[in-house]
A and B are shown apart, each in its own frame.
Chain A
Amino acid sequence: MRAAPMGEAILTGSLSARRDLLAWVGDRGVYVALVLLVAFNLVFTANFATVGNLRLQLIQVVPVAIVALGMALVIGTEGIDLSVGSTMAIAAALLPLYLGYGPWVAIPIALLAGGLVGLVNGGLVAFVGVQPIVATLGLLVAGRGIALVFAQGRLTELFDPTLTAIGTDRIAGIPITVLVAAAVAGVVGLVVRRTTFGRRVVAIGGNRGASVLAGLPVRRTLVVVYVVSGLLAALAGILDTARLSAADPSFVGLLIELSAITAVVVGGTPLSGGRVRILGTLAGALLMQLISATLIKHDLPDSTARMIAAAIIVAAVYLQRTRVAA
């Protein structure tokens, strides 16, 4: 389903200044957009520059950001993971079931479940050869069902002090959930830039055939990437549940895969893989969150937010493609 026919050299056309500029915007445009949006809000939105609001925005962006980090890795291998929302729901549904044994039993179990979902995805993609969109689609559907089965379809309230603390407390004024997200971002960023694993991810996405012939452990790497995505999705589900002190399997993570994919793509990581921009992904998540918040603050309806999001996605991807030859 690639959209780049005439597979002739990527060395086509002359490098005009205009093309350079467009390519740069495609790569770094998200930062510019973010700055512009913040500036806009500083001027036009009441109570924007307060600590409280800043904190609120960051707290709200945590689940998408964490999921998007995992998604960035998957997209880096030219794959996709549509099941992340359902994985979040599974983790959220499992927590109340095992909280009786204590939070430090329930949390690892929920994480493990996420890893298992990722294992299935990775196995299907890497070893059976199913296309990622179809494999993770199946898990999306089945996973939501599994979550609903675990939770009997009900919203469950949680009364665990540790969990509540994780969800709502702060350290040095920064919410714990935000710190966790930052830590995850730091680790993933490090992995992508400095480790062999990270190198393998971008190589596989850049040219799978070449990676095989260069002796890279392609299948193993793919499985790990999907496992990580599942783990991070589970983590996002846990944090979300901790913050709300309630687990609602029907709504947790609904449509979050779309938000995550948007954040990744807008942030400069191409769907065709081969390059992973962690900072860009974070910026993309923040941008989408800020857009939604700005619209709400200015009494613009949700529907407008969706339509604007759509336009932004198209613009971001359109600009990205000027890098790759037509």
Chain B
Amino acid sequence: MSADRLVGEEQGVVVDTTGSGGVDHRAGRREQVAGLLQRGAVFLVLAVAVVGGSVAFGSSFASVENFRNIAISSSFLTLIAIGMTFVIIGGGIDLSVGSLLALAGVLAAYGSRQGSLVAILLPLAACGAIGLVNGLLIARAQMAPFIVTLAALLFARGAAFAVSDEGNTTYLIEPGRAVTGLGQGTVLGLGVPVLFALAAFLIGLVVLNRTSYGQAVFAIGGSEDAAQLMGLPVARIKVLLYVASAMLAGFAGVLVAARSSSGLPTLGAGLELEAIAAVVIGGTLLSGGAGSLTGTLAGVLLLGVIQNLINQVGTLSSYYQQVVSGAFLIMVVVVQTYLSRRRRL
């Protein structure tokens, strides 16, 4: 073990003596490489996929038009995955986001008859309320996030069907309404949903890495007991996590409804699982305490690109798509688990 001496030893300064004759706790070369790989893998794979797709399919894949489509279709998942990233870093999980998206879409269409403001505020309020209940049950009643958000999933889906008369009524948004601009408009060539997704990403990045709140989320996910003892308002922070996640899902639902000018209660099934997949693929630990929004974004894009590539092949049935998705998720998680084990000191 190498000696690790710092100047000031003679003045009785206590130095970091790891490595001075005993075990050195610092990350060795192997662990550092493993860490880099775990965090960077998703970008690598994304780059490979894009390059590979361009080579294999030429301009039908590598065109501005196609990338624009990928961006749009990924923007909704991005919004949801941002909220999911925060929740997972904080040590929890939110299974209700897919159903919340559907509920929000139905409410947006339903509320559009009263004007665009209602079309936006009603779904946000409803989703926020459900998120609040989730957060309170999890943070104050100490219930398991998995089961609470599972119940919310059922509840929200039920509510979506209830509002739309068991799926028999599909509310439509009239073409003239301002709210449709949110879903169908373009600014600088980019679809408005894409801009919202980018804005949410940037805001999320700042909040996660540069605010006390973000640090607190990392702390709670890393060690909730320690965070509590260090004086953090743990319950309040957790409640906010679930409210934010729900409202992001709600907003995504509004955008979907705006884009398709209708609110279908059947949407979003399995979306929460896709979001979890994107977050995990992006390098965020499912156990909490560490993660990155950039990774999540890359994960969402990767899923979008893969979907697109499968479509490019054309002959591959959507069933194989599912097999590939599932297998891919497993592969990524296995590699991640293996790498994170190597890093454990």
Contact = CB atoms under 8 A, between A and B. Distances in A.
Interface residues on A, range: 35 or more
A128 B341 CA distance: 10
Contact of A130 (B273, B318, B333): B333
B273 A140 contact: yes
Contacts of B15: none
Contacts of A306: 154-155, 157-158, 161
Given A3-B142, A302-B166, A138 B329 contact: yes
Interface string A311-326: 1011001100100001
A258 B161 contact: no
B147 A313 contact: yes
A149 B150 contact: no
Given A131-B286, A134-B333, A310-B154, A303 B159 contact: yes
Contacts of B145: 1, 3
B323 A301 contact: no
A302 B161 contact: yes
B166 A314 contact: no
A194 interface: no
Contacts of B321: 145
B147 A307 contact: no
Contact of A5 (B162, B234, B273, B288): B234
B31 interface: no
A218 interface: no
B108 interface: no
Contact of B329 (A141, A149, A272): A141
A270 to B, nearest CB: 9
A135 interface: yes
B148 interface: yes
Given A131-B286, A134-B286, A142-B326, A4 B154 contact: no
A318 B150 contact: no
B333 A135 contact: yes
Contact of A307 (B142, B159, B288, B333): B159
A124 interface: yes
A141 B142 contact: no
Contacts of B161: 301-303, 306
A303 B329 CA distance: 32
Give the dominant DSSP class at B's interface: helix
Contacts of A131: 286-287
Contacts of A146: 319, 323
A271 B144 CA distance: 8
Contacts of B162: 301, 303-304, 307
Interface string B258-287: 000000000000100100110010000011
Contacts of A285: none
Interface in A251-269: 258, 261, 265
Interface in B116-164: 137-138, 141-148, 150-155, 157-162
A326 B224 CA distance: 13
Nearest to A134: B333
Given A128-B334, A317-B147, A326-B142, A139 B288 contact: no
Contact of A265 (B142, B147, B317, B325): B147
A148 B317 CA distance: 10
Contact of B276 (A137, A144, A271, A307): A137
Contact of B326 (A5, A80, A128, A143): A143
A6 interface: yes
A215 interface: no
B143 A321 contact: yes
Give the dominant DSSP class at A's interface: helix
Contact of B322 (A142, A313, A318): A142
B67 interface: no
A2 interface: yes
Nearest to A249: B319
B330 interface: yes
B294 to A, nearest CB: 21
A310 B148 CA distance: 9
A10 to B, nearest CB: 13
Given A3-B145, A144-B322, A318-B137, A303 B158 contact: yes
A145 B337 contact: no
A117 B338 CA distance: 21
Interface string A125-160: 000111101110111111111101100010000000
B330 A142 contact: yes
B334 A130 contact: yes
A243 to B, nearest CB: 25
B148 A314 contact: yes
Interface in A80-97: 80
B159 A5 contact: no
Given A1-B145, A145-B323, A326-B142, A128 B154 contact: no
Interface hub of A128, A143, A265 (most chain B Cβ within 10 A): A128
A38 interface: no
B240 to A, nearest CB: 16
A90 to B, nearest CB: 11
A46 B157 CA distance: 29
Interface in B166-186: 166
Contacts of A304: 158, 162
Contacts of B277: 137
A307 B103 CA distance: 13
B155 A307 contact: yes
Nearest to B340: A129
Interface hub of B91, B326, B337 (most chain A Cβ within 10 A): B326
B327 interface: yes
A187 B341 CA distance: 38
Question: Which 7 residue pairs are nearest across A and B when measured between Cβ atoms?
Answer: A142-B326, A145-B322, A306-B158, A141-B326, A303-B161, A148-B319, A145-B323
9 contacts: A1-B145, A1-B287, A5-B142, A130-B330, A137-B273, A301-B162, A302-B158, A304-B158, A307-B162
